[in-house]
A = this chain, B = another copy of it.
């Protein structure tokens, strides 16, 4: 039994520092790197790519809406055409910088509102899948289990990864409870490990109404932008491994001399 462990990183911007990327990288296997639209800048992207390369962590693009002040968390009614182009732009930008650090992209995970909209809206989901396929057919496309994004990726011939969230509460419909809701982010490490193990081994999680949700989980997301993120991630990986779960990326970075 194995699982990929991913986190959103590279979300600093200029003088604005966010996250504990270097520390988080020690425990995850896939790094979703912001590409400059909702967070990140070319220098941050390089540094993050370098850290990932050094840690042997797989690097993926984490494209978002061009909404820096809203951190890409606000829905923007962009057309499918616009979404396809902005996603491709961001993938290409990151790929170029990562390549200069000897790192090849392994996956794509849409960010924030774009991720959530594409879970429900097939047109947007298809647009993202087209952008990914156009860039590199071997990239793994991350998405919410059962989402339109997973369907679109599959239809486009891409390898897809259904994503569970280790430290987020689930609404009864399988979507994430909004960040503004109390208890939507779980901070207790033991509970995070317990929920994660159940997701990985049984494909189940308890929703906010107490119901049991069942879905496949190929990769687990743990947040990386708060004070305790690095420690939580370390405990999560240790907890998974202690229970016999192998933590590994879909396409790990090759060893580098």
Contact surface of A with B, Cβ cutoff 8 Å: 13-16, 18, 36, 39, 41-43, 45-46, 66-71, 73-78, 81-82, 85-86, 88-97, 99-100, 113, 131, 134-135
Residues from chain B with a CB closer than 8 A to the CB of A134 are 96, 99-100
Quick one: copies of this chain in the complex? Answer: 4
Whether A97 contacts B88 by the Cβ 8 Å rule is yes
Cα of A66 to Cα of B76 in the assembled complex, Å: 11
Question: Can you list 14 A-B contacts with CB-CB less than 8 angstroms, sorted by A residue number?
Answer: A14-B68, A14-B70, A15-B18, A15-B71, A15-B73, A41-B85, A43-B81, A66-B69, A70-B78, A85-B97, A88-B96, A89-B96, A91-B96, A93-B96
Nearest CB in chain B: distance from A63 CB, A? 11
The residue from B69, B77, B90, B95 contacting A14, defined by CB atoms under 8 A apart: B69
By beta carbon, the residue of chain B nearest A117 is B77
Whether B16 contacts A85 by the Cβ 8 Å rule is no
Residues from chain B with a CB closer than 8 A to the CB of A95 are 92, 96
Nearest CB in chain B: distance from A228 CB, A? 16
Residues from chain B with a CB closer than 8 A to the CB of A70 are 14, 76, 78, 82
The 3 tightest CB contacts between A and B, nearest first, are A92-B96, A42-B85, A16-B16
Residues from chain B with a CB closer than 8 A to the CB of A86 are 42
Whether A14 contacts B96 by the Cβ 8 Å rule is no
Cα of A46 to Cα of B82 in the assembled complex, Å: 10
Whether A82 contacts B18 by the Cβ 8 Å rule is no
The residue from B13, B14, B45, B68 contacting A85, defined by CB atoms under 8 A apart: B45
